[in-house]
Amino acid sequence: MDDSVEPEVEDSQLDDPASLASAVFEEESKRLAEQEAKSEVIVLPDDLLPGVGEEPMTLKQGIRAGGASMLVVLFLLNVIDEFDRVAIAVLLPDLQEAFGVSDTVILGISSFGGVALVLGAVPLAWLADRVKRTLIVPIATAGWAVSVFLTGLVRNPFQYFWTRVLTGAGQANRLPVHSSLLTDTYPIPARARIFAFEGMGRPIGLLIGPVLAGAIASIAGGDDGWRWAFYIFAIPPIVLALVSLLLKEPPRAGNEQQAILGEQYEMPPIGSDLPVSMSTAFARLKKVKTFYFLAVGVGTLGFALVTLPSQLNLMLKDEYGYEAFQRGWVTSLVWLASLVAIPISGFKFDGMFREDPSKMVRTAGTLIIMSGVLVLVAMRFHQPAIMIFGISLANACTSASFVAAAPTIGAVAPYRMRAQAFALLPVFIFLMGGFMGSIIAGSISDAHGERLAISIVAPPASIIGGLLVAYGSRYIKRDISLAVSELVEEQEEMRRMSEHPDDIPVLQVRGLDYSYGPVQVLFDCGLEVRRGETLALLGTNGAGKSTLLRAVSGLGVPDRGAIRLNGRTITYADAELRFKQGIVQVRGGAGVFPGLSVEENLLATMLSTKEEKDEIYRRVERVYDVFGVLREKRNQAAGDLSGGQQQMLAFGMGLMHEPEVLLIDELSLGLAPVVVQELLEVVEQLKETGLTMIIVEQSLNVALSVAERAVFMEKGRVRFEGPAQELAERDDLVRAVFLGAEGG
pLDDT exceeds cutoff 60 at 9: no
- What pLDDT was estimated at residue 12? 53
How far apart are alpha carbons 413 and 291 in whole angstroms? Answer: 8
Q: Is there a single domain that holds both residue 382 and residue 509?
A: no
Is the same domain home to 467 and 544?
no
The pLDDT value recorded for residue 233 is 92
Q: 544 in the Ramachandran plot: left (φ > 0), alpha (ψ -120 to 50) or beta?
A: left
State the pLDDT confidence band at 740, using cuts at 50, 70 and 90: very low
Average pLDDT over residues 16-41: 61
Q: For the residues 643-662, what does the mean pLDDT come to?
A: 88
Q: Are 477 and 519 in a shared domain?
A: no
**pLDDT above 80: residue 104:** no
Q: Are 608 and 564 members of one domain?
A: yes
User: Same structural domain for residues 607 and 728?
Assistant: yes
Residue 700 confidence class, pLDDT cut points 50, 70, 90: confident
Q: 399 with 321, same domain? A: yes
> Could you tell me if 472 and 517 lie in one domain?
no
Domain shared by 319 and 439, yes or no: yes
564 part of a folded domain: yes
Q: What is the DSSP string of 427-473?
A: IIIIIIIIHHHHHHHHHHHHHH-HHHHHHHHHHHHHHHHHHHHHHHG
**Domain of 98: which CATH number?**
1.20.1250.20
* Segment 331-349 mean pLDDT: 88
- Go through 502-526 and write b for each residue having 16 or more CB atoms within 10 A of its CB, e for each that does not: eebbbbbbbbbbbbeeeebbbbebe
* For range 701-714, the mean pLDDT: 85
State whether 469 and 540 are in the same domain. Answer: no
Of the pLDDT bands very low, low, confident and very high (cuts 50, 70, 90), residue 409 is very high
Mean pLDDT (the chain, rounded): 83
Q: Three-state secondary structure along 23-86?
A: HHHHHHHHHHHHHHHHHCCCCCCHHHCCCCCCCCCCHHHHHHHHCHHHHHHHHHHHHHHHHHHH
- Whether residue 521 contacts residue 1, with contact meaning beta carbons closer than 8 Å, is answered with yes
More confident residue, 236 or 497: 236
| Cα gap 443→334, rounded to integer Å | 24
448 and 595 fall within a common domain: no
99 domain-assigned: yes
pTM across the whole model: 0.78
For the chain, percent of residues with pLDDT exceeding 70: 88
Check pLDDT > 50 for residue 6: no
Model confidence at 590: pLDDT above 80? no
**Structural domain contains residue 496:** no
Q: What does the pLDDT look like over 597-629, one tens digit per residue?
A: 999 999 998 887 888 889 999 999 999 988 888
For the chain, the domain total comes to 2
**Residue 511, helix vs strand vs coil:** strand
What pLDDT, on a 0 to 100 scale, did the predictor assign at position 723? 87
* pLDDT value at 31 more than 80: no
User: What pLDDT score was predicted for residue 98?
Assistant: 82
pLDDT at 540 over 70: yes
pLDDT of 82 strictly over 50 = yes
Q: Where are the alpha helices (DSSP H) in 356-449?
A: 357-378, 384-403, 405-412, 418-426, 435-448
Domain that holds residue 141: 68-247+278-482
Q: Identify the pLDDT of residue 265.
A: 62
Q: What is the C-alpha separation between 490 and 476, in angstroms, rounded?
A: 21
Same domain for 468 and 538, yes or no, is: no
Q: Residue 529: beta bridge partners?
A: 507
CATH number, domain of 584, equals 3.40.50.300
Radius of gyration in angstroms for the set of CA atoms belonging to the chain, rounded to a whole number = 30
Confidence of residue 202 (pLDDT cuts 50, 70, 90): confident
Structural domain ending residue among the three candidates 417, 451, 482: 482
Kindly state whether residue 54 falls inside one of the protein's structural domains. no
Work out the average pLDDT over 394-407.
93
pLDDT digits (tens, 9 = 90+) for 238-258: 999 999 999 999 988 777 777
What pLDDT does residue 234 have? 92
Return all residues near 15 (Cβ < 8 A) that are at least 6 apart.
Answer: none
The reply to whether 437 falls in a domain is yes
Among the residue ranges 12-26, 314-328, 674-688, the one predicted with the least confidence is 12-26
Give the mean model confidence (pLDDT) for residues 293-305.
90
Mean pLDDT throughout 500-525?
89
Q: Residue 498: pLDDT above 60?
A: yes
CB atoms within 10 A of CB 50: 24
pLDDT at 268: 59
Work out the pLDDT band at 1, boundaries 50, 70, 90.
very low
Least confident of 217-231, 253-267, 517-531, 709-723: 253-267
Which residue, 419, 452, 482, sits at the end of a domain?
A: 482
The pLDDT tens digits for 120-146 are 888 888 888 888 999 999 999 999 899
Residue 267 has pLDDT above 80, yes or no: no
The dihedrals phi and psi of 698, each to the nearest 5 degrees, come to -100, -20
Same-domain status, 639 and 739: yes
Over residues 495-515, the mean pLDDT reads: 88
The domain boundary, picked from 434, 450, 482, lies at 482
Give 264's pLDDT tier (boundaries 50, 70, 90): low
* Percent over 90 (pLDDT), the chain: 30
Residue 529 pLDDT greater than 90, yes or no: yes
Q: How far is Cα of residue 532 from the mean position of the Cα atoms in its chain?
A: 35
Q: Lowest-confidence range among 112-121, 290-299, 531-540?
A: 112-121
pLDDT of residue 349: 94
Q: Tell me what the mean pLDDT of segment 579-607 comes to.
A: 86
